[in-house]
């Protein structure tokens, strides 16, 4: 007797065998994640988003820096795009002829994160990537990186063509703040 759900197929080496009929899965079944995988992926995405938001500077932090130049520099204000070009060595001389000497804060500095986002319009890692390409191709070297506001102020004070940025609350002596226009 034969079950309705079974059919007769030849077994190994041509021997007759009873093999139950298999149900076929939809073709897309193997590509869809199982419900547990969907939940864990969704949860992982949520945690990553929260981590990114927690590490992102707030709008108050985005403006928490001052751009400074040497006291002898006649510049009073600059466009943000022009400042970006100065820091990326796309412009090498001030309008008055002095060679530009930009100085950056360390890559993990909150001041640098805010500056990079506000002036360059890119995260610090994108600017670091730009400099890796410039170094690799031999076209340019990145600005000097200093670890504190006091070091940046000292550098700018001692170099006539220098430009840097410091946190909003830094005490400025021997340098002047310039306005950044959008």
pLDDT along the chain (182 residues), means of 10: 55 58 58 52 51 43 80 95 96 94 95 96 96 95 95 96 94 93 88
Indicate whether 56 and 71 sit together in one domain.
Answer: no
Indicate whether 80 and 157 sit together in one domain.
Answer: yes
What length is written for the chain?
182
CATH number for the domain harbouring residue 84 = 3.40.190.10
Q: Is residue 2 part of a domain?
A: no
Q: How many domains does the chain have?
A: 2
Indicate whether 67 and 56 sit together in one domain.
Answer: no
Q: Is residue 137 part of a domain?
A: yes
Q: Is residue 45 part of a domain?
A: yes
List the domain range (segments joined by +) for residue 51: 33-61
Indicate whether 74 and 132 sit together in one domain.
Answer: yes
pLDDT of residue 80: 95
Q: Is residue 110 part of a domain?
A: yes
Q: Is residue 8 part of a domain?
A: no
Indicate whether 52 and 89 sit together in one domain.
Answer: no
pLDDT of residue 60: 39
How far lies 12's CA from each of 15, 18, 118, 181, in Å? 6, 11, 72, 82
Indicate whether 170 and 111 sit together in one domain.
Answer: yes
Is-contact 103 143, C-beta < 8 A?
yes
Indicate whether 67 and 100 sit together in one domain.
Answer: yes
Indicate whether 51 and 71 sit together in one domain.
Answer: no
Query: What is the CA 34 to chain-centroid distance, rounded?
Result: 33
Indicate whether 84 and 105 sit together in one domain.
Answer: yes
99, β-bridge pairs: 93
Indicate whether 54 and 67 sit together in one domain.
Answer: no
Residue 179: which of 105, 59, 99, 69 has the closest Cα?
69
Q: For 19-36, give one letter per residue: b (16+ CB within 10 A) or e.
A: eeeeeeeeeeeeeeeeee
pLDDT of residue 123: 96
Prediction pTM value:
0.66
Indicate whether 49 and 70 sit together in one domain.
Answer: no
């Amino acid at each position: 007797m034969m079950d309705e759900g079974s059919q007769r197929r030849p077994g190994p080496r041509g021997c007759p065998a009873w093999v139950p009929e298999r149900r076929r899965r939809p073709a897309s079944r193997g590509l869809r994640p199982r419900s547990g995988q969907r939940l864990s992926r969704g949860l992982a995405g949520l945690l990553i988003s929260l981590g990114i938001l927690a590490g992102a500077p707030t709008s108050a932090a985005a403006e928490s820096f001052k751009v400074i130049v040497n006291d002898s520099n006649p510049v009073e204000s600059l466009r943000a795009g022009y400042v970006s070009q100065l820091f990326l060595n796309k412009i090498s001389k001030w309008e008055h002829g002095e060679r530009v000497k930009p100085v950056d804060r360390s890559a993990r500095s909150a001041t640098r994160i805010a500056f990079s986002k506000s002036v360059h319009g890119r995260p610090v890692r994108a600017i670091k990537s730009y400099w890796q390409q410039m170094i690799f191709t031999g076209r340019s070297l990145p600005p000097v990186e200093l670890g504190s506001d006091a070091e940046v102020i000292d550098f700018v004070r001692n170099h006539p063509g220098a430009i840097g940025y410091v946190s909003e609350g830094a005490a400025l002596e021997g340098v002047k703040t310039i306005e950044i226009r959008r």
